[in-house]
Amino acid sequence: MTLVEELQGFLKEATTELAKPNVDVEAVRVTFLGKKGKITGVLKSMKDLSIDEKKEVGQVGNQVRTAIQEKIEEKKAAQAAAALEEKLAAETLDVTLPGAKPKIGTPHVLQQIMDEIEAHFLGLGYQIIDDPVDSPEVETDEYNFERENLPKDHPARDMQDTFYITPEILLRTQTSPVQSRVMEKHDFSKGPLKMIAPGKVYRRDTDDATHSHQFHQVEGLVVGKNITMADLKGTLLSIMQELFGEKHQIRLRPSYFPFTEPSVEVDVSWNEVTADTKPEDIKWIEVLGAGMTHPNVLKMDGIDPEEYTAFAFGLGPDRFAMLKYGVEDIRQFYLNDTRFLEQFNERGN
């Protein structure tokens, strides 16, 4: 067999190999076109040939090399196309099937209650004070206690034992300090002050089904001329009926708070009250504290109690949520258990 015939045989051999479905194209290339491949081996053996024979073998060798290279490129392209078709077939989307709906979250149930409270008071013309400047969670002893008519030796401080950072800096036990911060800035020549202060508060307490060391509070304050207990009662009745329903009533019972005088505990009827409901059939439950702002509190915030009067109240969104939705353990609100939280849609139903 001559060298020319041997080279032509390589082309047929390479063509046969490349025709196989799962051929290793790179292995074929190395076998025939590599530095130690078959074509290179033949071309190196031309040293004993005549000039004309060398010319003929070289020319055929180049033609065979080019032909094999073209067939290799064609095979690579065919394999790439086949792989793409296979991938497309495996990843084909059936556009006739319903799409997967994304899971959309809803506001936390406590946030829902607070939003409802805020919306109600915005409708009554109140300001919402919850910015970090006027409503800091890390508060001074002066604003948290002393401005609320609770001097350092006052026994009522024991009911609001909290977390101290220094003897004068602490985590606030109530949002009442916000009221003091806003009162001392308010320009009463432009009208009365009507505000609520929502936010987180902290008290050193043992966590159980009805107590938490961290909870939420919404405190309200109205300061103006000729503000009375009647204004307070009407305001509280409106928010209670907003949260629990128009057929629920409230009652005020005398109580004591250092920062209000007179002070009241506020109960809401557990059952609906109609014109036919007998007083002894009404079931009451305590929900909040309120009262007329103490003159000392007004004085400390630069307001003349002889000219202005005020009322204040404190709502507990956590407690309201427990009552409204029948939640028996306050800790459920803070465990981030989606099985519990998903029970409440955006309206809290």
Binding-site sequence positions for Mg(2+): 261
Contacts of 310 (CB under 8 A, 6+ apart): 193, 221, 222, 223, 224, 227, 292, 293, 298, 303
| CA dihedral sign of residues 165, 168, 173, 176 | negative
Name the helix (H) or strand (E) containing 86.
helix 51-90
Helix 51-90 crosses helix 3-18 at what angle (to 10 degrees)?
0
Rounded to 5 degrees, φ, ψ at 136 are: -75, 140
Task: Tell me which residue of 300, 227, 232, 305 sits closest to 263, measured CA to CA.
Answer: 232
Question: Residue ranges for the binding site?
Answer: 261
- Beta sheet of 284-293, edge-to-edge order: 127-128, 193-202, 214-224, 309-315, 284-293, 260-269, 250-257
Which structure tokens are listed for 2?
């001559």
Helix 317-325 crosses helix 229-244 at what angle (to 10 degrees)?
50
- Rg over alpha carbons for the chain, rounded to the nearest Å, is 42
Contacts of 182 (CB under 8 A, 6+ apart): 127, 129, 134, 193, 195, 197, 221
Which structure tokens are listed for 136?
């800091």
Q: What distance in Å separates the CA atoms of residue 329 and residue 161, rounded to the nearest whole number?
A: 22
